[in-house]
Structure 1
Amino acid sequence: MEYQITSGSPLRMGAHHDGRGVNFAVFSAHASQIDLCLFSPDGCTQVARLPLPERSGDIWHGYLQGLPLGTVYGYRAHGVYEPEQGHRFNPNKLLLDPYTRQLCGAFADNPAKLGYVEGDAAEDLSFDPRDSAPYVAKSVVSDPALFTKITDQPQTPWEDTLIYEAHVKGLTAQNDRIPAATRGTYEALASDEMLDHFKQLSVTALELLPVHAFLNDSFLLKKGLTNYWGYNTIGFFAPEPRYFGPEGIAGFQRMVRRLHSARIEVILDVVYNHTAEGDQRGPTLSFRGLDNASYYRLTDEDARYYVNDTGTGNTLNVAHPQVLRMVLDSLRFWVEHMGVDGFRFDLATTLAREADGFDPQGGFMDALRQDPVLAGVKLIAEPWDIGPGGYQLGAYPPEFAEWNDAYRDTVRRFWKGDSHSAQDLAARLLGSAEVFDHRGRRAWSSVNFIAAHDGFTLADTTSYAKRHNQANREGNRDGHHTNHSDPCGVEGPTSDPDILARRARRQRNMLATMFLSQGTPMLLAGDEMGNGQAGNNNAYCQDNAIGWVDWQADQSGLAHFVKELSAFRAAHPVLRQTRFLHGAMRVSDGLPDVAWFDVSGAAPDWHDPGLSTFCLMLRGSADAVVNTVHDDAVLVIINRAPEAVKLRLPDTPDAQGWKVGLRTGAASSVAKVEAEFLVEAEEVVALTLAPVDNAHER
């Protein structure tokens, strides 16, 4: 077949079918020529190679009349191969369209993907002439009908949000209540079984580990492992095919619609800080071959090398206007056409770093925050990277919530028994106001978590003193060294009933602490069931039972307890306030919005390094413009001590008394809440106000 390519338009990036043909547009500021390569439907045979006929600025474009939907294609870029100048053009390497929405085939582990000759003495300064096309995934001209707009977002207020962080495959791979054919797929996440589970926990947002198309690292494949987590993006618009079920891409959209129908939002963990092409020794798959010097940040000393603020080999150059455009186009695509409700930005500090360092009002942040499509979605920052000045907890703009690792560490340290940890815990219980209460930020800004995908699960935090990552085949050197964990007497599995009981209570205590804290709680998938990873705190390469959720793990009724916790939090607005609490007096009744007590009713001794027992009275914020939680109050009692304590309860208003809202100890109820209340050893209790005649009821 003869192809007649015309100039087309530079206005829309990527490949777009208009009903008569396809317009192609791709960015490269430094190429001398861009070839469009067409392939057979199976992607195995190149059937045409056509130079794009027009260049408008730095956009190369062309139009092919009569080209059908589903056409498989890729690019080859011509230009100088001068790595020391930052240019790595090699037309022998087939390149993925950065804007492709679908992939054909997969990436094979073959050295032909490299732009240089592997093993050559000149290393990446050498030039490899082999054709990479047989070993790489190709782009596909997608059907516009697949990507109609989704507009039914639930838009849950931040203060009412409960996030559930999960891996698409790992969450359902071992759930035998889901048909085997769909386990581990997008569709499985919105199955009736999973929707029931989410509803029981009162989950309002499902935060998914990366679903952008990603690459399996060569070094993992050589060890018989794989990139399980997916923090290795190669396609910012294409859903990862390994999670496709029977419906393919439509299965992702169906998942979103079903979750939305259950009032559950979908948040994506997105990786715009680097790509799967790695450092100078990595493969040439897309961005590197199209325009290495524009897509990546290169070192000032030698443009052969990449700035590595991410620890993954390269750093995407979002300061470049076309790269920034690509990222924003990607975000809008996932919101408008895939129905996504928010994003958690992996290593967000990298995205906000300008030439002079971290800048929360830099180009990326300003562009993101002013975008009308993105203005209404949830934005979450992972507020660190390994670059200079990388740790920026609390420094993001008011529109952002932030993962609060200080919260995780403080809660673990307190329940482990570390000295001086009660003082830190007091701040975490109030939303880490010393970190976030500025520029009009809200208490929900702190995303509070005990465990996340990276690190020990909750169960492993109470079962292991140190990491056990031998299965990663890195000599147990990878993963966090400091976990603030405590196995309660024995490292690893045990049949000792006393140790098992103590571990179960420790888990309940940490979970209760999180649900009773101001801020946005985030639950790691499986923690509600006591799921463990055999002590592996870096299961990024464990696409197996180590990394998957064990649905048979709950031996202590933990899931039911989490259900109680989430229901209690939902029932009490004082636990979900948007304003920070500072002990100010409320005009309405002259009472402080927060107050602290010890067991005698006096102020706690905050100078005591071993302080282990204290009480926290929570009322509606004195700063609230309209106090919608005026009549609500919760008394939180925390006792880490190894013995029970008697607590003198605060006085209550007339005709009201205290009742038990929840407790983590063995006693499931009390006949009556007296003026002196017995709190068990290692227990969290929450009391609420009730009319006097109902005060004895739980």
Structure 2
Amino acid sequence: MIDTGATSYLARSSGPVMAKQPSFATAAKPPTPQFSYPLPYGAILREDGVQFVVYSRSATAMRVLLYKKANDREPYRSIECNPDTNRWGDIWSVFVPGLTAGELYHFQADGPFDPDRGHRFDPHARLIDPFAKALVGEFQAGSDGVSRPPKCVVIDDHFDWQGGRHLRRPLSDTVIYEMHVRGFTRSPTSGAERPGTYLGVIEKIPYLKSLGVTAVELMPVHEFPTNESNGQKSTRGNYWGYDPMAFFAPHRGYADSAEPGAQVREFKEMVRELHAAGIEVILDVVFNHTSEGNEEGPTFTFKGLENSVYYMLNADGSYKNYSGCGNTVNSNHPIVREMIFHCLRHWVYNYHIDGFRFDLASILSRDRSGELVPNPPLVEYIAEDPMLADTKIIAEAWDAAGAYQVGSFANGRWAEWNGAYRDNVRRYWRGDLGMTGPMATRLAGSSDLYQSSGRKPYHSINFITSHDGYSLNDLVSYERKHNLANGEGNRDGDNNSYSANYGVEGPTRRVPIRRLRKRQAKNMMATLLLSQGVPMIVAGDEALRTQRGNNNAYCQDNALSWFDWRLTQRNAEMLRFSEALIALRLHQPTLRRAKFLTGASEGHGALPDVSWYGTDGETVDWNHTFHSLTCVLGTAGLDDDKARHVMILMHSGGKPQEFHAPKTVRGLTWRLAIDTIAEPPHDVFVDTPGPVLNTSQPIQMDHHTLKCYIASE
């Protein structure tokens, strides 16, 4: 069944979907499995039973294993597929009458074990259905060598969406908030009744509303091992979740209820409530590798069904590793491409997801031999898929094997995480020489990267920090990574983060350093929200969350990674500043144009859409290596009554600097909107008008300072 929204899920069940005894459990002999149609894939709930469908070209036999409870080590029933009546081409399909929602199952496949030729069948392995809609339980260890992964759950997709649909907010009007479902509310300081869960996120919707973000980008929610690495026990946990094992299933570890299938309902409830609050949901999806690892890893899903189709292999059967995680999904193989299409549509239709961010997306540009190719089929199909037409599609346009495609990943609808924006803004505010020009380019929307391919400023996803790297607070507090807690001898994580500590490594009581760090955090947050493009903020940066210098906290499921909600009080100044900046951006169309700036005006004496000046108020000399820049954004080309001229003054030098207002703006009335060196409430003005600028007098800018003025009507 598919989710039509016509019937309330809650009305059909008094609680979460539970594992039930099949109707034949008390019969003398179970009903005989029957033939049924071979599509769609997965466990399809029918009126009188369940149809199990799985692809395997090379399997010589296929079984469906049924379980009563999540912790059962052995199935209560094994159903053998008849190759004459239960196989159509390379698709195995068997209908089992009497089964209902909540049934637990695995597949099991016989076939050749010949790694040199790409085959890794194991007739004893229990296999996760690639199209499973939910999992339950954990990996079960055993001395018999049999791989026992979490069990698949038969799901009824019906849910009462209460009339909710996708929000369809234009990308240019979007402010993204990257967050980890568990880490957002897991801390005892959150006060959440259901901490660390999908339902816990619902409890914090009022906070998200007050912050003003328009979309949450959730770090991976596809099923992944919880206490294991590649299906095996690990001394390090798996917190981030970039280790998928079931692409169609929401992670069971973020559900409040432990009942099989509860995560499906709770995830939908979270999306429904976020949408009701006007907040879109974007998923960080990982189609570049799986948690089965390389040739030394276990077999619990794709390896045991058709290894050489699902993974890129070398001639000797070993795994190509463009992901840095042991294997690489063969995403441009037609079978895998079809699975990814079905998966994306599943999340859009059954979960009302508004967009996707594709982790290590350059892997999607590699052909079946691993070579980067122009117009890769998968990338093009995602952009053109009619089911995804209303969704946001965002690429992390690089991979772990050296591909770096920022600005050249694709065209059309694809937006990109703009790594150049991150690096240039960090270096500018750190005070590096020669960064004034690059800073101007990033502030104006990165036309150097996106204009030639026909894309727009909003195809640049601007960010200064992300989950991967320092938090904003740590970016201005540490010059060296401090990752020893990860257990890898501090070898992991980026070695060149363009950070600074301003005199002391880590926390300090020295007031001048603390003030400078706070100002630098404000400078970068202000730059992010004033830039053309789409801003992305990492959860906690608005309250100066710290990871104590750890820039790769992938395994830290503890207070190091969790949002400490006490910071919203301790750093209320930064929180208020961030809220005001977001409100300013969403109110001011001049800051979020849908077309690139040209420098053209709408008539004699009118301000052009953009102009650049030096500290003397004259046209900027781009060969100048100092640290100061004035940007004037005009309303030319905007047909919006709310649009106002905006003037931004930036100075990243280590000494004070005197600025002069350009002659072209002196006839206008300018009011202060942002001053990163001022004490609150004079650091940002949104609801109340700021002081009027005397354009005939020099403007004094202290070191490392940003000021922004808005022209009055």
TM-score (ref. length: structure 1): 0.91
Q: Does 1:63 align with 2:95?
A: yes
Q: One-letter code of the match for 2:191? A: I
1:197 to 189, 200, 207: 207
1:649 to 626, 643, 661: 661
1:89 to 113, 116, 121: 121
Could you tell me whether the CA contact under 8 Å between 1:647 and 1:678 is conserved in 2?
yes
- Alignment correspondent of 2:241: 230
2:256 to 239, 245, 250: 245
Q: Does 1:49 align with 2:49?
A: no
Q: One-letter code of the match for 2:358? A: F
Q: Does 1:14 align with 2:42?
A: yes
- CA deviations 1:368-400 (Å, max 9, x no partner) are 122211111000000000236444444322201
- Alignment correspondent of 1:265: 280
- How far is the alpha carbon of 1:419 from its aligned partner? 1.2
- d(CA) in 2 for partners of 1:220 and 1:459? 35
- d(CA) in 1 for partners of 2:123 and 2:162? 37
- Alignment correspondent of 2:675: 663
- Alignment correspondent of 1:116: none
Could you tell me whether the CA contact under 8 Å between 1:620 and 1:630 is conserved in 2?
no
1:681 to 703, 707, 710: 703
2:521 to 500, 503, 507: 507
**In the superposition, relative to structure 1, how do residues 335 and 150 fare at CA in structure 2: closer, same or farther (>3 Å)?**
farther
**In the superposition, relative to structure 1, how do residues 603 and 323 fare at CA in structure 2: closer, same or farther (>3 Å)?**
same
Could you tell me whether the CA contact under 8 Å between 2:205 and 2:274 is conserved in 1?
yes
- Alignment correspondent of 2:489: 475
Q: Does 1:335 align with 2:344?
A: no
Q: For the aligned residues, what is the CA RMSD?
A: 2.2
Q: Secondary structure at the match of 1:595?
A: strand
- How far is the alpha carbon of 1:149 from its aligned partner? 10
**In the superposition, relative to structure 1, how do residues 149 and 437 fare at CA in structure 2: closer, same or farther (>3 Å)?**
farther
- Alignment correspondent of 1:34: 62
- d(CA) in 1 for partners of 2:70 and 2:232? 24
- How far is the alpha carbon of 1:564 from its aligned partner? 1.2
- CA deviations 1:612-644 (Å, max 9, x no partner) are 1110011245xx5x6437952100000123333
**In the superposition, relative to structure 1, how do residues 366 and 653 fare at CA in structure 2: closer, same or farther (>3 Å)?**
closer
- How far is the alpha carbon of 1:672 from its aligned partner? 4.0
**In the superposition, relative to structure 1, how do residues 105 and 315 fare at CA in structure 2: closer, same or farther (>3 Å)?**
same
- Alignment correspondent of 1:586: 602
Q: One-letter code of the match for 2:222? A: H
Q: One-letter code of the match for 1:657? A: T
Percent identical across equivalent pairs? 38
1:23 to 48, 51, 55: 51
- How far is the alpha carbon of 1:651 from its aligned partner? 4.3
Q: Secondary structure at the match of 2:582?
A: helix
Map of 1:122-161 to 2, 5 A cutoff?
130-132=145-147, 135-146=148-159, 151-161=164-174
2:199 to 187, 190, 206: 187
- CA deviations 1:276-332 (Å, max 9, x no partner) are 101111110100001101111111x31x21111111111111222221111111111
- Alignment correspondent of 1:635: 647
**In the superposition, relative to structure 1, how do residues 150 and 62 fare at CA in structure 2: closer, same or farther (>3 Å)?**
farther
- Alignment correspondent of 2:12: none
Map of 1:420-459 to 2, 5 A cutoff?
420-459=434-473
- d(CA) in 2 for partners of 1:394 and 1:588? 38
- Alignment correspondent of 1:494: 508
Could you tell me whether the CA contact under 8 Å between 1:357 and 1:388 is conserved in 2?
no
Q: One-letter code of the match for 2:34? A: T
- d(CA) in 1 for partners of 2:692 and 2:607? 26
- d(CA) in 1 for partners of 2:650 and 2:515? 18
- Alignment correspondent of 1:101: 133
- CA deviations 1:446-476 (Å, max 9, x no partner) are 1111100000000000111010000001000
- d(CA) in 2 for partners of 1:568 and 1:32? 63
Q: One-letter code of the match for 1:71? A: E
- How far is the alpha carbon of 1:585 from its aligned partner? 3.6
Please list every run of 5 or more consecutive structure 2 residues that lacks an aligned counterpart in the other structure: 1-28, 684-689
- d(CA) in 1 for partners of 2:313 and 2:283? 28
- Alignment correspondent of 2:617: 601
- Alignment correspondent of 1:206: 216
Q: Secondary structure at the match of 1:569?
A: helix
1:295 to 303, 306, 310: 310
- Alignment correspondent of 1:696: none
Q: Secondary structure at the match of 1:465?
A: coil
Map of 1:682-697 to 2, 5 A cutoff?
682-691=704-713
**In the superposition, relative to structure 1, how do residues 219 and 211 fare at CA in structure 2: closer, same or farther (>3 Å)?**
closer
- d(CA) in 2 for partners of 1:42 and 1:600? 72
- CA deviations 1:559-589 (Å, max 9, x no partner) are 0000111111112111000111132343586
Q: Which sits farther off after the overlay, 150-159 or 477-486? A: 150-159
- CA deviations 1:208-259 (Å, max 9, x no partner) are 0000000244489766321100000001111101100146321111111111
- Alignment correspondent of 1:615: 630
Could you tell me whether the CA contact under 8 Å between 2:118 and 2:308 is conserved in 1?
yes
- d(CA) in 2 for partners of 1:463 and 1:63? 60
Q: One-letter code of the match for 1:688? A: I
- How far is the alpha carbon of 1:179 from its aligned partner? 3.1
- How far is the alpha carbon of 1:665 from its aligned partner? 1.1
Q: Does 1:538 align with 2:552?
A: yes
- How far is the alpha carbon of 1:148 from its aligned partner? 7.4
- CA deviations 1:466-509 (Å, max 9, x no partner) are 10000001000000000100011100111111111111011001
